[in-house]
Structure 1
Amino acid sequence: MTDTTAAAPQGLRIGSAPDSWGVWFPDHPRQTPWERFLDEVAEAGYHWIELGPYGYLPTDPERLRDELGKRDLELSAGTVFTGFHKGQDEWQRAWDQAVRVAGLASAMGAEHIVVIPDLWRSDETGEALEARTLTDEQWDRLAAGHDRLGKALLEEFGVHQQFHSHADSHIGTYREVERLLETTDPRYLNLCLDTGHFAYYGGDNLKMIKAHPDRIGYLHLKQIDPEYRFEVLKNDIAFADCAGEVMIEPPNGVPDFAPIIEAVSAIDPQTFAIVEQDMPGVDIEIPLGIATRTRRHIFGCTPLTRVR
């Protein structure tokens, strides 16, 4: 396969993230050290990266700018976690994160914050913490909270809220994601459409893109094992316990990347498409090879891709 990294400039900007190196926490003895991650993501051929868990990469803007600059890397987004359906007290928790994450991201020139909702199941023990579905009142609180957060992020930091549906969260299926879009303001909330997490619950990525082209603000590229997914769902296996197996190295899973990249490129070629393969606890010798092969696959499957 030809490595066409000098692809058409109208294509999506392809990047990667600490998650593709197994990084889920600011600090963990089994994780890839941050210096090695930066070295390897550059070696794999990426230019754009995400911040990852706040505190994993240096939080001083000048130091982070220096570390990225000497490896020819730039920041596309940071990540914040929310639980607005739980009540008014959740605002301060979300905003405290946003001040740190959005402050650093915007100082680095990033224009997006990926927002992930709290899981209904513990990612440490697998026990159910809440009901799996929201009441109408909880839906109202969730939508209002995200509109408020998105407005504040835009006005205070000039960054855009991109909502990330997630396995084991209350917003996962096609109908749940669509309900979120119907009850929120497009000025303040759009989607980080994670191709793997959306497909995890049977969501059709292309259908969502075609139905709501104006709400696709950001992409996470990943694939799932279509057969193992059903074993996971049938046996009620916690996502944290199966993430490294159900999220599979491309192109061995679904969905196909090319049609998704091409559909989003036709909407807005400035969109970021960040490879984010969930691999918690992975042997630190493994991610570089997967990241390199994944980049080659993406650039080989469609010309509507670019490094910068």
Structure 2
Amino acid sequence: MTNPALIGSAPDSWGVWNAEDPVQVPWQRFLDEVAQAGYTRIELGPYGYLPTDPKRLQDEIDQRGLTVTAGTIFEHLHRESGWDSTWNDVSAAAKLTAAMGAKHLVVIPEFWRDPVSGEVLEDQAMPDAQWATYAERMNELGRRIREEFGLQIQFHPHADTHVDTHANVERFLAETDPEHVSICLDTGHISYCEGDNLKLIQDYPERIGYAHLKQVDPKIMEKVRAEGLGFGEAVKLGAMCEPPQGIPPMPPVLEALAALDHVELFAIVEQDLYPCEPDVPLPIATRTLSYLQSCGPLR
């Protein structure tokens, strides 16, 4: 028995990384174009990019025949003083996400080097003692978000963070509580960090509660690794590419996701394009949806 993944898209595929940024596509254009491309489901993207007044946002998405699958927010619980500021950010995003009728909140760890400039901000490796504290705080975050907002947090392993490589993802899963913490499997970030998407799905089926679909260009990644480039510079070079031009191959991933024992599993297209010219995203998003619909179980 298979449960086809529920396809959607996100502001990230329109070059959106920040709540406010003059180089980004205006939010009205994103909503217009994501619907024009054929998607009916979206993520909220950076908190504050879309309107944060629930009534106004609901009106805007209803006008375009869209529904919201999740909110997205960063956390920095690995830092000693990180709880209060993380909770303020995460709870605000959770409140809006719940008001939109979604059930998931994608939580992304903070970067150890600046995603745009590549400046090193802290040590790349997290000490063993810090891992234990981090896991405890993540469990508490997941518990409180569920109890107070009715949402499941979907932790997003990410390049240039402390939870990046296959080994670090496995360590995170081993140290966190399955009852409170699931993961958002981002196929592009796992491949970017030389991980194995299919093995993670096979080994941890019960922990994968959400997915981001993207690919990386292997040739560009050779340059990124050889020169030690940061994630932002890699994106500018085109490291995250339009499928089917990169890895991992999408059909096996979609088949593996469909085989998971989930009533519903959202698979959100997320091709990092920051920054990009405003006319670039729509044709890519349209072609990507058509391609994905041709190669695996989706609805």
1:156: which partner in 2? 148
1:52: which partner in 2? 45
Q: Percent identity?
A: 49
Distance 2:151 2:86 in 1: 15
The structure 2 residue matched to 1:171, chosen from 158, 163, 170, is 163
1:107-146 C-alpha deviation (Å, 9 max, x unpaired): 1111111111111101242111111111011111211111
1:3: which partner in 2? none
Shift of 1:98: 1.7
Structure 2 residue 19 is the aligned partner of structure 1 residue 26: yes
The structure 2 residue matched to 1:81, chosen from 74, 85, 102, is 74
- Which residues in structure 2 correspond to 1:251-262 (within 5 Å)? 251-262=244-255
Structure 2 residue 224 is the aligned partner of structure 1 residue 232: yes
2:266: which partner in 1? 272
Shift of 1:48: 0.6
Distance 1:141 1:275 in 2: 32
Structure 2 residue 58 is the aligned partner of structure 1 residue 99: no
- Supply the AA of the counterpart residue of 1:110: A
- Which residues in structure 2 correspond to 1:87-126 (within 5 Å)? 87=80, 89-126=81-118
Secondary structure of the structure 1 residue equivalent to 2:24: coil
Report the TM-score when normalising by structure 1.
Answer: 0.94
Secondary structure of the structure 2 residue equivalent to 1:84: coil
Structure 2's unaligned 5+ residue stretches are none
Distance 1:10 1:74 in 2: 20
1:300: which partner in 2? 294
Secondary structure of the structure 1 residue equivalent to 2:45: coil
Contact 2:235–2:273 under 8 Å retained in 1? yes
1:41: which partner in 2? 34
Secondary structure of the structure 1 residue equivalent to 2:42: strand
Q: CA RMSD in A?
A: 1.3
Structure 2 residue 287 is the aligned partner of structure 1 residue 285: no
> Which segments of structure 1 move beyond 6 Å, counting only runs of 4 or more?
none
Distance 1:270 1:161 in 2: 15
Distance 2:149 2:263 in 1: 23
Distance 2:203 2:166 in 1: 11
Contact 1:11–1:269 under 8 Å retained in 2? no
Contact 1:191–1:217 under 8 Å retained in 2? yes
Distance 2:8 2:263 in 1: 14
Secondary structure of the structure 2 residue equivalent to 1:85: coil
Shift of 1:79: 1.1
1:29-50 C-alpha deviation (Å, 9 max, x unpaired): 1111111100000000001100
Report the TM-score when normalising by structure 2.
Answer: 0.97
